Homo-oligomer: A and B are copies of this chain.
Amino acid sequence: MALTTPNPMGPWKITVYDQENFQGKRMEFTASCQNIMECGADNIRSLKVECGAWVGYEHSSFSGQQFVLERGEYPRWESWSGSNAYHIERLMSFRPVCSANHKESKIVVFERENFIGKQWEMNDDYPSLQAMGWGNNEIGSMQVQSGAWVCYQFPGYRGYQYIMECDRHGGEYKHYREWGSHAQTFQVQSLRRIQQ
């Protein structure tokens, strides 16, 4: 079959609903939303990503747990939340991942914070870092050289998600405190490119 060519510069389109299974109040966005309550909804309970890659957040102003949202249908919170350590049934803000570029993504991961220790340059998806020879279940720091990546706490793309982009922080994430407001440890056991 012929595949369409993803457009690395967007446009972006996401349709969100305030009830599960694409029911209730329906809203379309082509750019960031900092607080869904300002749009007259108390929460987002289902969504469809129609164009581009997005990241959703637990709280308003792009804070709290992060959820990568690639093209497709998300009928319930379980379809985007990778962690049930405590239940996240909130998705209050979201924005496009402008630098997502599935074909040309490169990241360098370091054993320790501040870009020291063993390092490994990656340009593919790794559902298990340890299976590929990484020595432990942590990454100390990362430099995103191109594209956008999502790191996960557990193997197989499970657990907390951390979105890493070449066009934020200059692509440099030198300590887990820079990974997001929900990051509490260096534990990362899988990571992959984000697909535009």
Contacts and interface: CB of A to CB of B under 8 A. Distances in A.
A39 interface: no
Question: Which among A71, A126, A129, A156 has the highest number of chain B CB atoms within 10 Å?
Answer: A156
B155 A49 contact: yes
Given A3-B134, A70-B127, 9 more contacts: A3-B132, A70-B128, A73-B137, A74-B155, A78-B159, A125-B192, A127-B192, A128-B195, A157-B157
B156 A69 contact: yes
A78 B83 contact: yes
A73 B189 contact: yes
Contacts of A73: 137, 154-155, 189
Contacts of A82: 156, 158
Interface string A98-110: 0000000000000
A102 B125 CA distance: 10
B3 A133 contact: yes
A84 B156 CA distance: 16
Interface residues of A, number: 49
A44 to B, nearest CB: 15
Nearest to A53: B131
A80 interface: yes
Contact of A118 (B1, B49, B120, B155): B1
Contacts of A53: 131
Nearest to A135: B1
B72 A155 contact: yes
A156 B4 contact: no
Contacts of A2: 133
B195 A70 contact: no
Contacts of A132: 3-4, 6, 195
Contacts of A137: 72-73
Nearest to A119: B1
